[in-house]
Amino acid sequence: MSEVPLTLTTGDGVRLRGRHLPAESDLAIVIAHGFSGSCNSPRARHIAATLHRFGAVVAFDFRGHGNSEGVSTVGDLEVHDIEAAVAFARSRGHSTVAVAGFSMGAAVAVRHAALFGGLTAVAAVSGPAHWYYRGTPSMRLVHRAIEGRWGRAVARWTRRTRISAVGWDPPPSPPWELVHKIAPTPLLIVHGTADRYFPLRHAHALYESAADPRALWIEPGMGHAESSMTPALVRRLGAWLREPSVPPVSPPA
């Protein structure tokens, strides 16, 4: 079946644009992209096409990104965006819905699963454990884009990302504080050893704060999020989302 253009309306009234890849399957996989990303990028399309082998796919642009309306709150109100995609999948008759999030989308996927529940599996790829991390040059650049007027203007012009000029008040609970609430839904944490945004300690912090059932895949040589997902890793991810009882890879010491 070919993909279908999609418009979603969130619980707080933001219209999102996306794509639906239908399938005659009990499973639907919701894909949550990273900050300044889009479901229409070539890499995101490749990931969606590969995951489509395992079930239906719902891919969308977060608020403030691409063709969606609103402004990005960088991980706070975006939980409503995922919930809108999950509700759409259920309305199409899929009895099981899993979420795969990347980078910012991984943080939102963790927070959504903890706050809303009702999923069959959650995968967080290259996600942060806590907010305000500036320990790498890449993240210092991200903070410049988020916090400064000129940085937000550049993000809007070059990345089609509209960032809220109003800071968090109060800050939302970070992923590591909420991740234990995901249980008994299976959780998979995927992180690369060459991630230039978030070092491995973020993955370990999430894993150690989570409750079983949980799995941790440390991928040697992998970089950050969608841009570093190999076809083989996407297939492994799809297989886990379809059968999350697959024995996890033991985390290294």
pLDDT(247) > 70:
no
Selection from 90, 95, 106 nearest residue 20 by Cα: 90
135 pLDDT band, cuts 50/70/90, is very high
CA atoms within 13 A on the CB side of 117: 4
- Cβ-Cβ contacts under 8 Å for 176 (sequence gap 6 or more): 129, 130, 205, 206, 209
120 in helix, strand or coil?
A: coil
Strands 4-9 and 187-192, by their bridges, are unpaired
Interval 149-156 mean pLDDT: 88
118 in helix, strand or coil?
A: coil
Sheet strands side by side (includes 15-21): 4-9, 15-21, 56-60, 27-32, 96-102, 121-125, 187-192, 214-219
pLDDT(167) > 90:
no
154 pLDDT band, cuts 50/70/90, is confident
The total of other beta-carbon atoms located within 10 Å of residue 202's CB is 25
69 pLDDT band, cuts 50/70/90, is very high
**Per-residue pLDDT, 249:** 53
**Per-residue pLDDT, 253:** 43
> Which CATH code for domain 4-133+173-242?
3.40.50.1820
| Share above pLDDT 90 across residues of the chain, in percent, rounded to a whole number | 87
Selection from 63, 57, 123, 120 nearest residue 92 by Cα: 57
pLDDT(251) > 80:
no
- Cβ-Cβ contacts under 8 Å for 122 (sequence gap 6 or more): 98, 99, 100, 101, 109, 110, 113, 182, 185, 186, 187, 188
Element (H, E) at 8: strand 4-9
Per-residue pLDDT of 71-101, as tens digits, reads 999 999 999 999 999 999 999 999 999 999 9
Per-residue pLDDT of 96-132, as tens digits, reads 999 999 999 999 999 999 999 999 999 999 999 999 9
Per-residue pLDDT of 215-227, as tens digits, reads 999 999 999 999 9
- Give domain limits for the chain: 4-133+173-242
Mean of the per-residue pLDDT values of the chain: 94
**Per-residue pLDDT, 231:** 96
Q: How far, CA to CA in Å, does 172 sit from each of 14, 96, 166?
A: 19, 28, 14
- Does this model's pTM top 0.85? My answer is yes
